[in-house]
Amino acid sequence: MVADRRTPDAPLFLRLAGEQLRWDLLRELARSDLRVGDLITAVGQPQSLVSYHLRKLRSGGLVSSRRSSADGRDTYYRLDLGRCAELLAGTGQGLHPALDLVPPAPPAEESVRGRVLFLCTGNSSRSQMAEALLRHRAPRVEVMSAGSHPKPLHPNAFAVMRERGIDLSGHRSKHLDEFAGQHFDHVISLCDKVREVCPEFPGHPGLVHWSMPDPSAAGDTAEVGYPAFSRAADELSTRIGFLVQNLAHPRPQETRS
């Protein structure tokens, strides 16, 4: 009798990312949240093909989407880097125990440097929390935040950051014009509206977009307002963890033919 030599299916990450166009889409989304039109331009493929492969990546849990708050006809796609890390860990071990993926150690504080600007519309919550979280995580990074229509810091932003051991009492709202002409290694927009009006900065750092809902839009009651700010802070903390690794180990600029 012949022994059954069937093996388990290839790991999910390989099945999802092993196709070249899907790999290209993942690479683009690892840098920034993007719309279908942005991805079509980046990978040079027709919309039908890009949309088909995005559906595959969404069904596998690597990519999620949300409607743009600037234009409800648009949808931003986001790569879940945490989910990628989980699946990659299982991919190596599925082939051989010696290939178990070891998560990278936190980078040494002195290796994390650069100038980062976070932007949103009001500079009252998302960008202020992002600024504070990155400064707390990487004190040697010069980090700032601003808005296209600044307004006072939201009380829930103070409360959520205080819960995480960070004091926002020295922060003030600033207009993005205050930083015109300055050089930044990373300019990161957190609001779909400000992405549309963000000016160019010297050196053309390239705008990175994190499409995040405005937590203040959930309402001001404790039941819905505070949890929305807490969710925003959690998402920012996760994204900033990956940003810190990027600041410590910057990827060379790629050129497209």
Residue 257 lies in a domain: no
Answer whether residue 255 shows pLDDT above 50: no
Shared domain check, 135 and 28: no
- Tokens 């899907």 -> residue: 22
Axis-axis angle for helices 225-248, 155-163 (nearest 10):
60
Per-residue confidence (pLDDT) for residue 2, from 0 to 100:
53
Answer whether residue 107 shows pLDDT above 50: yes
Mean per-residue pLDDT over the chain, rounded: 90
Domain total of the chain: 2
Please give the DSSP secondary-structure letter assigned to residue 46.
Answer: -
Shared domain check, 77 and 16: yes
pLDDT-derived band at 3, boundaries 50, 70, 90? low
Q: For residue 227, what are its two tokens?
A: 């949890």
Residue 203 lies in a domain: yes
Shared domain check, 86 and 68: yes
Report the DSSP pairing between strands 115-120 and 142-147.
Answer: parallel
Residue 71 lies in a domain: yes
Is 245:104 a contact under the CB 8 Å cutoff? yes
- Tell me which of 198, 231, 237, 245 is the catalytic residue: 198
Residue 184 lies in a domain: yes
Per-residue confidence (pLDDT) for residue 218, from 0 to 100:
80
- Tell me which of 16, 25, 42, 120 is the catalytic residue: 120
Whether 84 is catalytic is: no
Sort 25 into a burial class: Cβ within 10 Å, 0-12 / 13-18 / 19+. buried
Residue 1 lies in a domain: no
Integer Cα distance of 31 and 62 in angstroms: 14
The residue from 75, 99, 123 where one domain ends is 99
Shared domain check, 239 and 129: yes
Sign of the torsion formed by the C-alpha atoms of 68, 70, 72 and 74: negative
- Tell me which of 191, 208, 212, 248 is the catalytic residue: 191
- Say what percent of the chain tops pLDDT 90: 74
Q: For residue 4, what are its two tokens?
A: 């059954």
Q: Which domain range does residue 164 map to?
A: 109-248
Concatenated DSSP letters of 49-108: HHHHHHHHHHHTTSEEEEE-SS-TT-EEEEE-HHHHHHHHHHHHHHH-GGGPPPPPPPPP
Residue 117 lies in a domain: yes
Residue 156 lies in a domain: yes
Query: For residue range 167-224, what is the model confidence (pLDDT) as tens digits?
Result: 999 899 999 999 999 999 999 999 999 999 999 999 888 899 999 999 998 877 767 7
Taking the model in full, what pTM does it have? 0.90
Whether 198 is catalytic is: yes
Per-residue confidence (pLDDT) for residue 212, from 0 to 100:
96
pLDDT-derived band at 252, boundaries 50, 70, 90? low
The CATH number of the domain holding residue 210 is 3.40.50.2300
Shared domain check, 167 and 88: no
Shared domain check, 137 and 224: yes
Residue 2 lies in a domain: no
